[in-house]
Amino acid sequence: MTQRTALITGASRGIGAAIAQKLAEEGYRLTLSARREPGLRDTAERLRDQTGAEIHTVAANMAVEDDVRALLASHAAQFGQLDVLVLNAGVGTLGLVADLPTKMFDLAINVNLRAQFILIQEALPLLRKTAASAPDRGAKIIALASITGVASEAQLSAYGASKAALISLCETVTLEESVNGVTASAISPGYVDTDMAQWKHDAVAPSEMLAANDVAELAAAISRLSVNAVVPNIVVSRRGAQIWRA
């Protein structure tokens, strides 16, 4: 096998960019994807300069099914193998169940769950092939879920439901595919100091949130595990007097 490869969605900033940094430092060849080309290009250029990593970029909107399928096809054409698939792209929704427009619910489900399902389906043949060529290591799927998929929070019904379903999807993929050397792990953090959490700054200071690098460290650790080690879900809470909180 040549050096390992990873595909990371939502990779232009925040958690996705932090995971890309970690894997680039470990010698991975990367496909980075995000919705907007300029930010994606800037992140790729920075990582190339810092690490010398080979980086392929694909602009893709996870709400568009053709984009999701084209993303995996582009990675396969570029690298021909896939050791780690990082499902990080997602959208946030905010609103009471009584008031949330169904179009916002649909958006959360489509981007946070349906797109992830399609990308996994498209990736499985390449993941199986890669796992067969590296039987001690296998191939990994790492999905960024949320602690709200484990412990609900008011006004995050659609977001939390989509993430709870994503956690369940990871478990099912492992049950079905671990025989082929492919396992899936969810990481479910509380509030992380990224753009997506800016709306919460009045209640939680950025200095009290998790760092994107905290999540990246866990993703990198999962990528190093043997094929026999299965991590269904890692919940990461913030420090304080209550464990099960975002």
Query: So which residues are the catalytic ones?
Result: 159
Instruction: Quote the tokens at residue 171.
Output: 């478990």
Cβ atoms of 16 and 10 within 8 Å: the answer is yes
How many Cα atoms within 13 Å fall on the side-chain side of residue 32? 33
55: which strand partners?
Answer: 30
**Residue given tokens 């980086």 in the structure block:** 55
* E-strand stretches of 63-173: 84-87, 139-144
Integer Cα distance of 4 and 19 in angstroms: 15
Q: How far is 72 from 145, CA to CA, in rounded Å?
A: 21
Q: What is the DSSP string of 75-138?
A: HHHHHS--SEEEE-------B-TTT--HHHHHHHHIIIIIHHHHHHHHHHHHHHHHHHHSTTT-
- CB-based burial of residue 241 (10 Å sphere; 0-12 exposed, 13-18 middle, 19+ buried)? exposed
Positive or negative CA dihedral for 48, 18, 231, 183? negative
Look at residues 27, 41, 30, 39 and name the one whose alpha carbon lies nearest to residue 7.
30
